[in-house]
């Protein structure tokens, strides 16, 4: 469906999805180890409009979420895995050297379905993905799970899908920034390719599961808060049940 303004940037920002100028070249961002040289904790400066309201120009970003990356960390902490990704919105923002915010304008959620799972398990997964896609400004894309090394079942097609979609969006100048929530070094070539389009490549992730190569490849890397902060809450059972009921009546 689609995503709007994220919080935490100050009350002066007004933003609508898709308002970036085609071909715009964003300014360089600050360094990549969470030191946003942002004059202390002061809010970024805003220009006053003719009606006296404050407005700020922002660069629009597309956020690409590797769902399995987040889910594995939730599982490791014995937390519910059917998380609501909209809890990420308030964290997916950075500042340019002019102190203008780069915010996510849409979210693309990539997950995988196990082809050999039981029909019941597949139905639960499809219900979850349907509920994710019902969130505003969020789109869902799926890969598949197949046997990998040592016959362990691994998701396939997701990383490539993210890379193709992100590079296409950057090359067509639909967005000024590619924001990736992932930890795999396989995304390093994507960082170089995105930069060649003039867009920024921003990575958010968890320090316990982040490759040094991807961290260093990003224009900006920023840690997500610990999961113990409970910003990635599961969907309520009632919401999942309603979606499941609608799917059964189709």
Most confident range (mean pLDDT) of 11-15, 42-46, 74-78 is 74-78
Quick one: average pLDDT of 62-77?
A: 95
Structure confidence by residue, pLDDT tens digits, 157-196: 789 999 999 999 999 999 999 999 999 999 999 999 999 9
User: pLDDT-derived band of residue 139, with 50, 70 and 90 as boundaries?
Assistant: very high
Quick one: average pLDDT of 125-147?
A: 88
Q: Is the pLDDT of residue 147 over 70?
A: no
User: pLDDT-derived band of residue 150, with 50, 70 and 90 as boundaries?
Assistant: low
Q: What percent of the chain has pLDDT above 70?
A: 71
Q: Which of 41-50, 61-70, 102-111, 115-124 has the lowest mean pLDDT?
A: 41-50
User: pLDDT-derived band of residue 149, with 50, 70 and 90 as boundaries?
Assistant: low
Return d(Cα 223, Cα 94) in angstroms, integer. Answer: 11
User: Does residue 13 or residue 144 have the better pLDDT?
Assistant: 144
pLDDT of residue 145: 64
CATH, domain 57-248, list 3.40.630.10, 2.40.50.140, 3.40.50.1010, 3.30.565.60 = 3.40.50.1010
User: pLDDT-derived band of residue 56, with 50, 70 and 90 as boundaries?
Assistant: very low
Q: Which of 3-7, 49-53, 124-128, 204-208 has the lowest mean pLDDT?
A: 3-7
Quick one: average pLDDT of 99-117?
A: 88
pTM above 0.85, yes or no: no
Closest to 56 (Cα-Cα) out of 88, 93, 102, 91? 102
Quick one: average pLDDT of 224-240?
A: 92
pLDDT of residue 114: 81
**DSSP secondary structure letters along the chain:** ------SSS-TT----TT-SPTT--PPPB--SSS----STTPPPP-EEPTTS-EE---EEEEEEEEHHHHHHHHHHTT--SSB-GGGGGGG-EEEBTTS-EEEEEEEEEEEEEETTS-HHHHHHHHHHHHHHHTSTTEEEEEEEEEE-GGG-EEEESHHHHHHHHHHHHHHTTS-SEEEEE---GGGHHHHHHHHHTT-EEEEEE-GGG--HHHHHHSSEEEEPPPGGG--SPBPPHHHHHHHHHHHHT-
Q: Is the pLDDT of residue 41 over 50?
A: no
Q: Count how many Cα atoms sit within 13 Å of the Cα of residue 61 in the half-sphere of its side chain.
A: 30
Q: Are 138 and 86 in contact (CB under 8 A)?
A: yes
Closest to 58 (Cα-Cα) out of 6, 91, 15, 17? 15
pLDDT of residue 18: 35
Q: Is the pLDDT of residue 224 over 70?
A: yes
Domain boundaries of the chain, sorted by first residue: 57-248
């Amino acid at each position: 469906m689609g995503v709007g303004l994220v919080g935490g940037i100050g009350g002066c920002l007004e933003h609508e999805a898709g308002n970036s100028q085609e071909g715009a070249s964003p300014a360089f961002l600050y360094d990549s180890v969470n030191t946003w040289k942002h004059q202390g904790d002061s809010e970024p400066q805003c220009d006053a409009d003719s009606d006296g309201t404050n407005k700020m120009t922002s660069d629009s970003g597309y956020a690409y979420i590797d769902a399995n990356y987040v889910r594995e960390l939730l599982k490791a902490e014995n937390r519910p895995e059917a998380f609501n990704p909209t809890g990420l919105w308030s964290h997916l923002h950075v500042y340019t050297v002019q102190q203008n915010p780069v915010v996510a304008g849409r979210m693309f959620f990539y997950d995988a379905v196990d082809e050999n799972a039981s029909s019941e398990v597949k139905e639960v997964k499809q219900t979850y993905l349907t509920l994710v896609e019902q969130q505003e400004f969020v789109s869902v894309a799926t890969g598949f799970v197949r046997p990998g090394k040592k016959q362990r079942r691994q998701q396939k097609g997701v990383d490539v899908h993210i890379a193709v979609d992100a590079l296409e969006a950057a090359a067509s100048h639909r967005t000024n920034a590619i924001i990736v929530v992932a930890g795999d070094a396989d995304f390093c070539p994507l960082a170089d390719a995105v930069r060649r389009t003039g867009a920024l490549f921003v990575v958010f992730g968890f320090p316990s599961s982040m490759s040094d190569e991807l961290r260093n490849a990003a224009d900006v890397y920023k840690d997500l808060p610990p999961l113990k902060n409970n910003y990635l809450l599961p969907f309520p059972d009632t919401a999942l049940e309603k979606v499941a009921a609608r799917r059964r009546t189709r």
